């Protein structure tokens, strides 16, 4: 049961990012994306990949290796299409969290390989930290839309968030059944944010229906006979 659920969660997680990759990389549409969320997504993938390696969990390793590639592609597309996001003050504000996550992943690996710490203990600490950060990382994107009701959402993929809701629901169950509370709690909060994003995008992209007006035939006016000059 747990193995099948992990397979489903991995499949959905791998699929979740590609609609956004297609929209951002193929069509170069990134308006509405949160740069902070994009940076944190890459950092979290690296941390969860490290967690999977420490615990010997193939579902975590495969999922985060593939999804991390997709999230990196979206981040690159965002930085390329919006050059202002590459400015130093903006990077200090949006990328500092991801830098901290990368340092955390590197420190976890070094503590096991160099200091000889127990992988299980390091993995438990790592998962606790990134579960909290992952919950926080899910907030900037919906918060961006809630704070600006006129925000253009043409760069956001609704399919991506629908798949994200299914993925988070699967990981929530996987973590609960597998006695991994950090995974379950993080995914549960992500599920809430994904459902909120689905509702926001549906409301922003819904087009009002125009009432169908039946065509009223125009009455024909009989033509008058032409007068013939005598």
Res 221: pLDDT? 53
Res 219: pLDDT? 55
| Rounded Cα gap, residues 167 and 9, in angstroms | 5
For the residues 197-223, what does the mean pLDDT come to? 61
Residues 6+ apart with CB under 8 A from 155: 23, 24, 29, 30, 31, 32, 33
Residue 227: pLDDT over 80: no
3-state secondary structure the chain: CHHHHHHHHHHHHHHHCHHHHHHHHHCCCCCCCCHHHHHHHHHHHHHHHHHHHHHCCHHHHHHHHHHHHHHHHHHHHHHHHCHHHHCHHHHHHHCHHHHHHHHHHHHHHHHHHCCCCCHHHHHHHHHHHHHHHHHHHCCHHHHHHHHCCCCCCCCCCHHHHHHHHHHHHHHHHHHHHCCCHHHHHHHHHHHHHHHHHHHHHHHHHCCCCCCCCCCCCCCCCCCCCCCCCC
| Rounded Cα gap, residues 55 and 58, in angstroms | 9
Average predicted confidence (pLDDT) for the chain? 82
How far is C-alpha 124 from the geometric centre of its chain's CA atoms? 25
Residue 229: pLDDT over 70: no
For the ranges 9-18, 83-92, 170-179, the one whose mean pLDDT is highest: 83-92
Residue 166: pLDDT over 50: yes
For the ranges 46-50, 169-173, 195-199, the one whose mean pLDDT is highest: 46-50
Tell me which residue of 105, 95, 90 sits closest to 45, measured CA to CA.
105
More confident residue, 183 or 222: 183
For the residues 200-204, what does the mean pLDDT come to? 83
Rounded CA Rg of the chain:
25
Res 222: pLDDT? 55
For the residues 101-120, what does the mean pLDDT come to? 92
Owner of token pair 């579902």: 59
pTM of the model: 0.73
Query: pLDDT for 39-74, tens place per residue?
Result: 999 999 999 999 999 988 887 888 889 889 999 999
Tell me which residue of 2, 1, 18, 40 sits closest to 183, measured CA to CA.
2
Residue 103: pLDDT over 90: yes
């Amino acid at each position: 049961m747990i193995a099948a659920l992990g397979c489903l969660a991995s499949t959905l997680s791998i699929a979740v990012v590609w609609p956004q990759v297609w929209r951002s990389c193929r069509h170069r549409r990134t308006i509405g994306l949160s740069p902070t969320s994009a940076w944190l997504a890459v950092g979290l993938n690296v941390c969860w990949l490290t967690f999977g390696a420490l615990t010997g969990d193939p579902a975590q390793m495969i999922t985060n290796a593939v999804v991390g590639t997709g999230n990196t592609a979206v981040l690159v597309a965002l930085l390329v299409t919006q050059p202002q996001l590459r400015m130093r003050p903006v990077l200090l504000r949006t990328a500092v969290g991801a830098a901290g996550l990368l340092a955390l992943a590197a420190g976890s690996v070094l503590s096991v390989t160099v200091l000889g710490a127990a992988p299980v203990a390091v993995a438990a600490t790592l998962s606790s930290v990134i579960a909290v950060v992952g919950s926080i990382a899910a907030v900037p994107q919906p918060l961006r839309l809630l704070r600006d009701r006129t925000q253009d959402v043409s760069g956001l993929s609704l399919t991506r968030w629908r798949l994200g809701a299914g993925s988070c629901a699967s990981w929530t169950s996987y973590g609960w059944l597998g006695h991994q509370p950090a995974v379950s709690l993080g995914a549960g909060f992500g599920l809430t944010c994904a459902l909120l994003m689905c509702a926001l995008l549906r409301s922003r992209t819904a087009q009002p229906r125009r009432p169908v007006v039946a065509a009223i035939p125009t009455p024909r006016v009989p033509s008058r006979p032409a007068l013939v000059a005598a």
